[in-house]
Structure formats: structure tokens, C-alpha cells
């Protein structure tokens, strides 16, 4: 049994995230393999398996000059053939719409069929491969700080975080977005508009983290994230530099920026806790997932949108005595500066506890597994077997009980977030497994 809580932020969490193939895919990694943000986890069939180019015909044959043969590999923009007419005054050139292989040339219809090359699935996360679900995706394990989202759209992306506002209740003007924001993740404050999202799309922003958006804007953006392909992008958002033949064509999942809303629909500012954490991580690499695919792939809605700041070096999910993941993660971050500031910052457990008790005040210090000022291990040492505690958040009134011990491993809440849990026996004899952040010590 778990308390249903929605923390604003979770610090120093052990995260196991599914990187989903947008369609049937094949993994290229094995469990236990170390990966970084740029690692390729696998390949999957593209959105359009076959692409067609129709050439000029006359009768039952192609009158255009064909420059390729069946079985030949072609690149996007490569000339497949040409047709000259009116004594050379007219000229038509036929080019390949994608990278792939010519699988058929029909003389009767003039149609050249091209099978697209499989697309690569990037990790966007540094960590260890936990498990491989064939044809579905790859689970990656790592430690990091989490900002859960209430809503989102788009596929998983990563990029350097840059703050565009000074306070969580300040919106971003579309005029502030430019070419210098390409491949960055923007901290956008309160509400995002359709104009802002179009500006981010035009200038190839990697992701947006904001407080809220109108429901109509989110419906439009969700549809755009699912349906927009590169050719339509070039037609709709004129980009001269992207039309060059040598321009790099992004993967299908990296055309539309990922969007995460921390508060949901409407006109609401971002929570102070989330804004403070993200602001402290400016300049670091951030993983942003609008969760367009994750929930559908898992068959449930508990793997929702989120922004995650992975710990550098903490790829194995290990925890040291001072609460730092991976030994080198937070300890090394202390020397680096920005990373270590997050370890001893305001506890996410406090925010978790506040939500769990339904707003009840004066419940005392909440001890939690994530971001406790004394460190995770130091806080949990107080929850020794036999200690009398009060469990908050399960009912309207706190429930007293005795600690049996810590759970053997991190458990997952119904919202999909892994948390450190404690086994408790209540005065009525009921055995519960409760998040540590829902526990307070009794005198």
C-alpha cells in the first residue's frame, strides 16, 4: 500500500527509464552495457516504410532517364533520374526523399520504390542498460534529480539547459527565441503559447520546460509531435539553411521539441521548487520527455512526462554513505561546483511529505530518501527496526506503528517514481510498505 503523492521535485533518485522504439525496433545493446547521452540503443522502422518517386512515362515504359538500379543504396537528395523535353528547354530532376534502398522500379507506372533506412534511437541518458524489451525499447538505469510533469508532448530529447526567465511566473516572449537556442532545453517559466512553440520548432530547440499551457494548445502540439515529418517541416517553416542537400536531417523523433508542463493545463506559474532546482542546473545537460510513447508502450499511464538532470558518473545507481550516487557523482560534482549544490539543497522529501498529509501542518521533520540535508543514509539510520513512527498520508489521520525495517529495494509509486520505502506494522497489526518521506518519528 502506498500514499498517493505528487512531489514537485525528487533529488538523488534511482531512475529506471524506458527508452521506447517509436515502431518495431531492434536493440543494439545488452543488459549491463554502459551508455551515455549520445549512445545508440537500437534501430527501428521509420514512420513510412516505403517512399515513392513517380517519373515520366509513355505507354508502358519510363521515358525519363533512370540513373539507379534495383538494390542500389541512395541518399536523401541524390538524383534518381531526369527528364528532358521540348528540345531541352524543359528539364525535370527526380531526387530521393530519404536515405534507403531502391527496391523496385516499375516501367508501367514510372514509380521508383525506396525502402527507408531504419532510424537510430539515441539514449539521451547516461547510465547502465537495465533490461531490453525486444521490439519495445531499452531500460536505462541511472541516478539524478527529477522534476515530474503533469502533462507533456513530444519524444524524449536532451540538451544543455538555459533559463529564459527570472521568475517562475514570468512567460517567455517568442521574440526571445533565435538560432542560438538550437539544440538547447529552455526553462520557460509560466505559460507557453502557440507562437512560442512555433518559434521553438522553427529554430530547432530540443525541449521546453514550463508551468502550463492552454488545453487547445496542447492538443495541437500533441498532434504535431505525432504527425510532422521533415518534408512537411521544411514546407511549413521555411528554413533556407536546412534545405541544402548536405544539411543533416534529424531523426523522426527529433523534429518537434519535447514539452514538459510541471503544473498542467491553464495559466499557472511553475512551482517554486521546480524552478529553483532547474535554475541551479543551468548549463548542465537535461533529459526532457513529453512521454508521447512511454505510457502507450507500457500499457499504463505511470511513466509520465518529466525532466531529469542525470548525475555525471553515477551510472550504476550506487549510493555511498554520504548519500551521493555512484561515488564519483555528487562527490566529484562538489569540486565542479554546480552539481554539488543540488545535494544539500532544500529537500524534495519535505515537498513530498506536505503533499502526502493533505496539507496538514506541524507534522515534524519528514525523513526521505531523496535530498535529505543529512544525506540519504544518515536520515534512514533513524528508521531502525522497533522505532515508533507515524505514517502520514494513508488516511485523513496519521497512523501509528513500528518500523520492521527498510524495504529491500526502491519501490515504485503508482505515478512510476522509484522511492525508498520502509516496512511498518501498525497498531492494528497491518503490515504496510510506505515511502520513507511519509514517515515521521514519534518522541
Alpha-carbon span 273 to 351, nearest angstrom: 8
Taking 50 as the threshold, does the pLDDT of residue 328 lie above it? no
Would you state the pLDDT for residue 201? 92
50-117 against 348-441: fold identical: no
Strand-pair partners of 93: 82
Question: CA 420 from chain center: how many Å?
Answer: 23
Alpha-carbon span 406 to 305, nearest angstrom: 29
Taking 70 as the threshold, does the pLDDT of residue 107 lie above it? yes
Which single residue is written with the C-alpha cell 539553411? 241
> Average pLDDT, whole number, for the chain?
77
| H helices, E strands: number in the chain | 8, 31
Alpha-carbon span 284 to 438, nearest angstrom: 31
What whole-number percentage of the chain has pLDDT above 90? 34
Could you tell me which CATH class the domain 50-117 is placed in? mainly beta
Tell me which long-range contacts 293-296 makes (C-beta under 8 A, separation of at least 24): 293/20, 293/22, 293/155, 294/18, 294/20
Distances (CA, A) of 169 to 98, 165, 214, 270, 276: 43, 9, 15, 7, 12
Alpha-carbon span 58 to 42, nearest angstrom: 44
Q: Is 332 exposed, middle or buried (0-12, 13-18, 19+ CB in 10 A)?
A: middle
Would you state the pLDDT for residue 312? 63
DSSP 21-34: -SSSEEE---TT-E
* Domain-wise residue ranges, the chain: 10-45+120-310, 50-117, 348-441
Alpha-carbon span 290 to 388, nearest angstrom: 41
Taking 70 as the threshold, does the pLDDT of residue 324 lie above it? no
What would the mean pLDDT of 63-78 be, rounded to a whole number?
Answer: 90
Highest mean pLDDT: which range of 59-68, 325-334, 370-379: 59-68
Give pLDDT tens digits for 214-268: 989 999 999 998 888 888 888 777 665 565 666 678 888 889 999 999 988 888 8
Inter-residue contact 344 to 351 (CB < 8 Å): no
Would you state the pLDDT for residue 383? 72
Give pLDDT tens digits for 33-66: 999 998 999 998 876 678 899 998 888 888 898 9
What would the mean pLDDT of 365-370 be, rounded to a whole number?
Answer: 30
**Which fold would CATH assign to domain 348-441?**
SH3 type barrels. (2.30.30)
Amino acid at each position: 500500500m502506498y500514499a498517493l503523492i505528487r512531489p514537485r521535485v525528487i533529488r538523488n533518485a534511482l531512475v529506471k527509464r524506458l527508452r521506447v522504439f517509436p515502431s518495431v525496433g531492434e536493440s543494439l545493446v545488452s543488459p549491463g552495457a554502459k551508455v551515455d547521452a549520445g549512445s545508440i540503443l537500437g534501430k527501428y522502422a521509420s514512420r513510412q516504410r516505403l517512399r515513392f518517386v513517380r517519373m515520366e512515362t509513355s505507354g508502358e515504359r519510363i521515358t525519363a532517364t533512370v540513373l539507379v538500379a534495383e538494390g542500389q543504396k541512395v541518399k536523401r537528395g541524390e538524383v534518381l533520374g531526369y527528364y528532358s523535353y521540348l528540345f531541352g528547354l524543359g528539364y525535370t530532376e527526380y531526387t530521393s526523399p530519404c536515405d534507403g534502398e531502391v527496391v523496385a522500379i516499375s516501367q508501367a507506372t514510372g514509380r521508383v520504390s525506396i525502402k527507408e533506412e531504419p532510424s537510430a534511437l539515441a539514449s539521451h541518458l547516461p547510465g547502465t542498460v537495465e533490461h531490453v524489451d525486444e521490439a519495445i525499447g531499452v531500460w536505462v538505469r541511472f541516478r539524478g534529480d527529477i522534476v515530474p510533469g503533469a502533462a507533456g508532448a513530444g519524444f524524449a530529447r536532451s540538451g544543455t539547459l538555459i533559463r529564459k526567465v527570472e521568475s517562475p511566473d514570468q512567460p517567455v516572449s517568442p521574440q526571445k527565441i533565435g538560432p542560438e537556442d538550437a539544440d538547447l532545453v529552455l526553462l520557460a517559466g509560466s505559460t507557453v503559447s502557440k507562437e512560442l512553440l512555433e518559434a521553438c520548432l522553427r529554430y530547432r530547440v530540443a525541449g521546453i520546460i514550463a508551468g502550463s499551457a492552454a488545453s487547445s494548445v496542447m492538443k495541437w502540439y500533441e498532434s504535431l509531435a505525432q504527425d510532422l515529418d521533415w518534408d512537411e517541416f521544411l514546407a511549413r517553416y521555411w528554413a533556407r539553411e536546412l534545405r541544402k542537400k548536405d544539411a543533416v536531417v534529424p531523426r523522426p523523433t527529433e523534429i518537434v521539441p519535447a514539452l514538459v508542463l510541471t503544473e498542467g493545463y491553464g495559466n499557472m506559474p511553475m512551482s517554486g521548487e521546480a524552478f529553483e532546482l532547474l535554475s541551479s542546473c543551468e548549463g548542465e545537460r537535461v533529459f526532457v520527455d513529453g512521454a508521447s510513447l512511454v505510457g502507450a508502450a507500457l500499457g499504463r499511464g505511470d511513466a509520465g512526462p518529466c525532466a531529469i538532470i542525470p548525475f555525471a558518473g553515477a551510472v550504476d545507481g550506487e549510493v555511498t554513505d554520504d548519500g551521493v550516487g555512484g561515488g564519483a557523482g555528487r562527490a566529484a560534482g562538489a569540486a565542479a561546483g554546480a552539481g554539488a549544490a543540488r545535494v544539500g539543497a532544500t529537500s524534495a522529501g519535505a515537498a513530498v511529505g506536505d503533499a502526502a498529509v493533505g496539507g496538514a501542518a506541524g507534522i515534524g521533520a519528514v525523513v526521505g530518501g531523496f535530498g535529505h540535508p543529512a544525506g540519504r543514509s544518515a536520515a534512514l539510520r533513524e528508521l531502525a527496526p522497533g522505532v515508533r513512527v507515524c505514517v502520514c498520508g494513508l488516511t485523513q489521520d496519521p497512523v501509528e506503528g513500528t518500523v520492521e525495517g527498510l524495504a529491500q529495494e526502491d519501490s515504485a509509486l503508482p505515478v512510476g517514481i522509484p522511492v525508498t520505502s520502509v516496512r511498518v506494522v501498525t497498531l492494528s497489526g497491518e503490515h504496510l510498505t510506505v515511502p520513507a518521506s511519509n514517515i515521521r518519528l514519534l518522541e
